[in-house]
Amino acid sequence: AQTVTQSQPEMSVQEAETVTLSCTYDTSESDYYLFWYKQPPSRQMILVIRQEAYKQQNATENRFSVNFQKAAKSFSLKISDSQLGDAAMYFCAYREGYALNFGKGTSLLVTP
């Protein structure tokens, strides 16, 4: 079974600063998708960014970007110019076929 590891249970960043959340995964496949989801307290999970494994270029979405290292099976999320509204649980997920396999999440605290 594929596994997703998020080694940082909690991270803290000051408003306007940059933070990087780590994720590693295990797979023997060459074609798959990777995602970062955000889950604010008591609110639904929303997609932050996705990366197709066959694409070498790192995905970016406004202040969010990834560092995808396929050989190292690493998929980190960088949040630039952090805002108070970025505070949430962040989950890294791997998809091969139909099911998403999630890590345990990283709780991001944003301080003023």
Partner 1 sequence: DTGVSQDPRHKITKRGQNVTFRCDPISEHNRLYWYRQTLGQGPEFLTYFQNEAQLEKSRLLSDRFSAERPKGSFSTLEIQRTEQGDSAMYLCASSLVSRQAFFGQGTRLTVV
Q: Which is nearer to partner 1, 49 or 112 (CB)?
A: 49
Of 12, 26, 61, 104, which lies in the binding site for partner 1, with binding defined by CB under 8 A? Answer: 104
Q: Which is nearer to partner 1, 47 or 109 (CB)?
A: 47
Is the CB of residue 110 less than 8 Å from the CB of residue 16? no
Q: Which is nearer to partner 1, 75 or 103 (CB)?
A: 103
Q: Label the pairing between strands 10-14 and 106-111.
A: parallel
Does residue 98 bind partner 1 (CB under 8 A)?
Answer: yes
- Give just the sign of the alpha carbon dihedral 42, 111, 12, 66: positive
Does residue 47 bind partner 1 (CB under 8 A)?
Answer: yes
Does residue 4 bind partner 1 (CB under 8 A)?
Answer: yes
| Nearest-approach distance from CB 51 to partner 1, in angstroms | 12
Q: Which is nearer to partner 1, 103 or 108 (CB)?
A: 103
Which of positions 62-91 make contact with partner 1 (CB under 8 A)? Answer: 91
